[in-house]
Amino acid sequence: MRSIIYVSLRSVSARSIRQFINLLLLGCFFTISFVPLHVNATPVRSYEQQLEQVRLYINNSMFEAALAELVKLRQTQRGVSDERLYITLAKVNYKLHYITMALSDLRKAIGLTSNVTAKKRLKSLYEQWLTTYGLVRFESVDQLQNGQLTLTRKRKLINQERKSALEVIQTQFNKGVELPISVYLPYGAYSANGTSFSLKRNMPVPIIEVMLNPIQEVTKQSTSPNLQRWLYIGLGSVALVALGAGSYFMLQEEPPPNTKLTITISDGR
């Protein structure tokens, strides 16, 4: 009788232990499932904090990083109407020698600025830039709208900033371009795929008809987004940047002395 009772109690104890273990594992599962895990997530930065980050990039001459941040900010509700953003974009694009973009951003800032004194200063800077760079429009003479365009200048540029601005456009044109397109170039005499033209201040925007060269497949695949950035106008994408061509504003050109860039980023004034 004793042995029967002993076996029966031992059997009950084993079953209870198994049930206890199962309940314990089930409890651990629900604890892991429903208790939130504390992960070191990147905190969401405010618009002003992001602008401050841009200023830090600029102060450390990290203009590519600043441009990427600014393009993202321009897509926000505040950024689309913030004159400070467009003034800063103008400065960064100018530093990177994306002159067409810089002038477009500066025009936008002028339009957004309500302060009379600030607007006057921005207009003065805009006119100053136009004393160095003039607008030219390229159109295709045949059905080929995409292709290579070799742009050469007849006299060598000595000023390094103007030289760099020209090289940005020359490099992209060599990679491939879609016509029609309007860009700003340093004043002077040029040749585009054998078609000669002169870009002069205080003269109407020249329209140059050219015959493009077909783009080689290997060249198509090697086009760099960094070299295409200067092509965007107001389309707001980080790919920033290499989005549209031919949507530039047509403006008159002006005269060329050396110019010094001075832009206040803090409040746009």
Confidence (pLDDT) at 20: 60
Alpha-helical (H) ranges within 178-246 are 217-221, 225-228
Confidence (pLDDT) at 42: 57
In one-letter notation, the amino acid at residue 209 is E
In terms of pLDDT, which residue wins out, 38 or 141?
141
Residues 234-261, mean pLDDT to the nearest whole number: 33
By DSSP bridging, strand 195-199 and strand 146-147 are unpaired
Q: Return the bridge partners of 134, or none.
A: 185
* Residue listed under structure tokens 């002003």: 48
Please, what's the largest Cα pairwise distance for the chain?
120
Evaluate if residue 32 carries a pLDDT over 50: no
Instruction: Provide the 10 A C-beta neighbour count for residue 78.
Output: 14
**Which tens digits make up the pLDDT trace of 144-200?**
899 999 999 999 999 999 999 999 999 999 999 999 999 999 999 999 999 999 999
pLDDT band for 244, please (50, 70, 90 cuts): very low
Confidence (pLDDT) at 45: 83
Alpha-helical (H) ranges within the chain are 2-34, 47-59, 63-73, 83-95, 99-112, 116-129, 160-175, 217-221, 225-228
Judge contact between 185 and 208, C-beta under 8 A.
Answer: no
pLDDT band for 216, please (50, 70, 90 cuts): confident
CA pair distance 54, 70, nearest whole angstrom:
7
pLDDT band for 248, please (50, 70, 90 cuts): very low
Residues 47-75, mean pLDDT to the nearest whole number: 95
Residue 216's alpha-carbon distances to 151, 170, 179, in angstroms, are 18, 17, 17
pLDDT band for 143, please (50, 70, 90 cuts): confident
For the chain, percent of residues with pLDDT exceeding 70: 64
Residues 25-29, mean pLDDT to the nearest whole number: 54
Judge contact between 63 and 57, C-beta under 8 A.
Answer: yes
pTM: 0.66
CA pair distance 233, 244, nearest whole angstrom:
7
CA pair distance 257, 186, nearest whole angstrom:
11
Confidence (pLDDT) at 168: 96
Q: Which of 219, 215, 236 is nearest to 227 (CA)?
A: 219
Q: Domains of the chain (ranges plus CATH)?
A: 47-231 (1.25.40.10)
pLDDT band for 228, please (50, 70, 90 cuts): very low
In terms of pLDDT, which residue wins out, 120 or 258?
120
